[in-house]
Structure 1
């Protein structure tokens, strides 16, 4: 029997303080060598346990084995020089020191497959694995080789497809591609971004998702959101074409954002992971607040296609806050589930 309104997270959860500095993105590891490998796996187990204790239905690795959702993947590719760094503007929002593409990009070995196998061994629940999307990858690099955003994105799409096929073989049920860049480069998204994403999922039989959010709760993102006005209509530019795409699930930000909920009408028919937890605030939602967000979404998404979720990753939050938010997500979904059963 399939769970109605299955809950999940957008991806990352806070790391234990013994593994990396808490409440910080790109936090350096506190362990090295074999200890680091063991520590990452221990953290993955804890992260899984916290999701299970909160009653989350579709679980993940909490991104415990990666420093950053994009660069950790890129580190494993050839053709990228991490010593040769340049400062670039990321998603037109903030400057970051990033590695440089110096030659053909290739995946010499799998990146997350061993971690995914490890997670698969720990649970019989459905598991979701997040990968960076091609457009967000090119936005987190300095390209000194292809000199074309589109060309580099197609190369990354091929590489992501290789990784995704191995993740599927390792027992991953949903592969999610994180594309916050889809909220910024609308023309590119419609010209080639969605096509690149479809290249990344080519031949997959497991479910696929694209996660498009307004970013982690870091200052640069919070400042940017203040410039977006009273209505955030970015999704309007990309949803019509995403509806026509082969992607199974669209994951988006809802709670405490200024996204007009009626924009969900533009993807009616697709499964939707509705962000009902604000990751840019330390205040823990009440189950009723979560339920209210889900009820609004149900006006535009059929109940069997609604997946309650978090707005984005929770890596920069304190662990007790993240734990409270996971509990609220489960409890809020349970309220609406009961209401639907009552009908």
Structure 2
């Protein structure tokens, strides 16, 4: 797309209250059967229209058809038993009961392709679809079968590549892989994580994004952030590797975080999707606050390579807050866009 400083959200938006419990992760569906299928499509219509109305340039599904950004994809795979659960440490941060890998993993049929086809019908604007990255997938499971994080990650990378190619075929313009685990398991990122991510994106003509954040605004993540000190420099581990990778765009958290802005310089030459909206606060940013974040980033990334975005998904937020933040994002980007145009005229 030719828009300077295009806007895009990273992941989830709150679901309508008739579809799922508001402000809740892993919220159970309030409908079932044909009514649930119809309700999910209605929710996709609503979030697409809201994004257009609020000035978002790249339209996403807001994860309306899934309960969780990782687990919903895994639910559709063979080789994973959701009845055999084990408690594991998620991203070295908190304990969760997760399903077990009990055999060879495979994807018997497409997971999100019908949903993506439906979203494509709702708008002429570019659309983006998010998938969990291989390393983040293995961090959300107990492995009884492969007994190797790396081997399981490579299996998932191949499965993700199948899904990504089919998403591309139904008109998805941008495919985003969510890898919050890249901010935790630095040795794995270096040894095989980036390579597995590249395998997931192999052969795609669609633009590819990797999103690495510090997590939803939930207590476990907020408590972890409180231990990270005055500067969050985790990106220094992955950014040099990603700068040399085949991934087109690197998505990072910025607004109200302690990430030093100059770390973006490491990515010079790549597109940068900058989180200019804080998802851990219910305070809606002003357009000027968003604009200020984007202006500061422009010291380290060329304007034609900067995308304005949210820090992470907004599913746990009240719906009016999340939509207000979308409006602020587009208004802030518009301020800077007009400043750049004025300086060039």
**Which range, TM-score by smaller chain?**
over 0.9
Matched, 1:291 2:288: no
Over aligned residues, Cα RMSD in angstroms? 0.6
Cα shift at 1:182: 0.2
What's the TM-score, normalizing by structure 1? 0.99
Runs of 4+ in 1 over 6 A off after TM superposition: none
Give me the whole-angstrom Cα distance separating, in 2, the residues matched to 1:285 and 1:232: 22
Instruction: Give the match for residue 8 of structure 2.
Output: 8
SS in 2 for 1:31: coil
Instruction: Give the match for residue 140 of structure 1.
Output: 140
Give me the whole-angstrom Cα distance separating, in 1, the residues matched to 2:8 and 2:207: 14
Cα shift at 1:161: 0.2
Cα deviations by residue, 1:140-185 (Å, 9 ceiling, x for unpaired) = 0000000000000000000000000000001000000000000000
Give me the whole-angstrom Cα distance separating, in 1, the residues matched to 2:204 and 2:2: 21
Instruction: Give the match for residue 330 of structure 2.
Output: 330
Give me the whole-angstrom Cα distance separating, in 2, the residues matched to 1:54 and 1:202: 33
Instruction: Give the match for residue 118 of structure 1.
Output: 118
Instruction: Give the match for residue 75 of structure 1.
Output: 75
Instruction: Give the match for residue 29 of structure 1.
Output: 29
* 1:253-332 pair list within 5 angstroms: 253-332=253-332
Cα shift at 1:11: 1.2
Give me the whole-angstrom Cα distance separating, in 2, the residues matched to 1:305 and 1:226: 31
Instruction: Give the match for residue 244 of structure 1.
Output: 244
Instruction: Give the match for residue 211 of structure 1.
Output: 211
Instruction: Give the match for residue 61 of structure 2.
Output: 61
> Any stretches of 5+ residues in structure 2 without a counterpart?
none
Give me the whole-angstrom Cα distance separating, in 2, the residues matched to 1:190 and 1:317: 34
Cα shift at 1:53: 1.0
Matched, 1:227 2:222: no
Cα deviations by residue, 1:321-340 (Å, 9 ceiling, x for unpaired) = 00110000000000000100
Cα deviations by residue, 1:262-304 (Å, 9 ceiling, x for unpaired) = 0000001100000000000000000000000000100001000
Cα shift at 1:7: 0.1
Cα deviations by residue, 1:168-218 (Å, 9 ceiling, x for unpaired) = 001000000000000000110011000000000111011000000000000
Give me the whole-angstrom Cα distance separating, in 2, the residues matched to 1:214 and 1:52: 27
Instruction: Give the match for residue 17 of structure 2.
Output: 17
Instruction: Give the match for residue 168 of structure 1.
Output: 168
Pairs aligned (count): 343
Cα deviations by residue, 1:227-273 (Å, 9 ceiling, x for unpaired) = 00000000001100100000000000001000000000000110000
Give me the whole-angstrom Cα distance separating, in 1, the residues matched to 2:78 and 2:137: 14
Instruction: Give the match for residue 107 of structure 1.
Output: 107
Give me the whole-angstrom Cα distance separating, in 2, the residues matched to 1:11 and 1:224: 21
Give me the whole-angstrom Cα distance separating, in 2, the residues matched to 1:149 and 1:196: 11
SS in 1 for 2:29: coil
SS in 1 for 2:188: helix
Give me the whole-angstrom Cα distance separating, in 2, the residues matched to 1:168 and 1:207: 10
Give me the whole-angstrom Cα distance separating, in 1, the residues matched to 2:11 and 2:155: 24
Give me the whole-angstrom Cα distance separating, in 2, the residues matched to 1:117 and 1:322: 25
SS in 2 for 1:65: coil
> Any stretches of 5+ residues in structure 1 without a counterpart?
none
Cα deviations by residue, 1:75-134 (Å, 9 ceiling, x for unpaired) = 000000011111111000111111000000000000000000000011110000000000
What's the TM-score, normalizing by structure 2? 0.99
Cα shift at 1:305: 0.3
